[in-house]
Amino acid sequence: MPRFSSKQYQSRVLVAMVIYTAFMLLVWPWVGKTPSVPLKALLALAATLPVLYVIAQMARLIRNSDELERHTHLVALSTATAVVGALTFIGGFLAAAGVVKLDGSTLLLVYPAVVLCYGAVRWRLVRSYGGNALCEETGIRPYLYLVLFGVVLIAVALLYPGRLDDARRSFLYGAAAAMIAFGGVPMARLWYRRKYRHD
């Protein structure tokens, strides 16, 4: 079986996320205006297809990794699942008690939270083994994804100002700033190192 490389995985994820972003920007705003319930359900489920594809590609990458890479992936994934599961459990009890108000759209934050936690834990594990998960030489560097997604969140907030209340707009800007900061720091460090070495 040919090895499924990190470069292949990253290029496929990038294409899937571009499709997802285009769908959310161009099609999703019309879902609320659609009177047909079956069509509304179909459009809502169609939005999940690129993300489900990304999950399948991640499973394929882990399956085809060597033993050390598989270990870091699985430890990071299990840690992220436990952390986000515990937070959603706590949030569920707080919502049931009426302490906080959560609607169904809050569930959309669960998968991104798992991915961010997974990335942070795996980065720490790879660093502990002497590697650098943020500066892989093959494929697209992971910190570029953070910057890209941060820019997309800002675009969503700017394109749909009337559809967002103050809390959601603040959340989008805050999440975008955090992603751009987390992605921008290693990008700036790498640029500085290259400039310093050349000088």
Question: Tokens 């509304």 correspond to what residue?
Answer: 40
pLDDT in tens, 116-163: 788 888 888 888 887 655 444 444 566 676 777 778 778 777 777 676
Q: For residue 41, give both structure tokens.
A: 């359900």
Which of 85, 102, 132 is the C-terminal boundary of a domain?
132
Counting residues of the chain whose pLDDT is more than 90, the rounded percentage is: 11
Lowest mean pLDDT across 13-17, 53-57, 64-68, 142-146: 142-146
Residue 5 above 80 pLDDT?
A: no
Counting residues of the chain whose pLDDT is more than 70, the rounded percentage is: 85
Q: For residue 92, give both structure tokens.
A: 């569920």
Angle between helices 67-96 and 110-128 (to 10 degrees): 140
141: closest CA among 81, 175, 185? 185
Q: For residue 154, give both structure tokens.
A: 């800002």
Give the number of domains in the chain.
3
Which of 64, 79, 111 is the C-terminal boundary of a domain?
64
80: closest CA among 124, 50, 48? 124
Question: Which range of residues forms the domain containing residue 106?
Answer: 67-132
SS3 4: coil
In angstroms, rounded to a whole number, what is the distance separating the alpha carbons of residues 149 and 135? 18
4 shares a domain with 60: yes
Contact predicate 109/87, CB 8 Å: no
Contact predicate 57/9, CB 8 Å: yes
In angstroms, rounded to a whole number, what is the distance separating the alpha carbons of residues 87 and 40? 30
104 shares a domain with 59: no
Q: Is 90 left (phi over 0), alpha (psi -120 to 50) or beta?
A: alpha
197 shares a domain with 150: yes
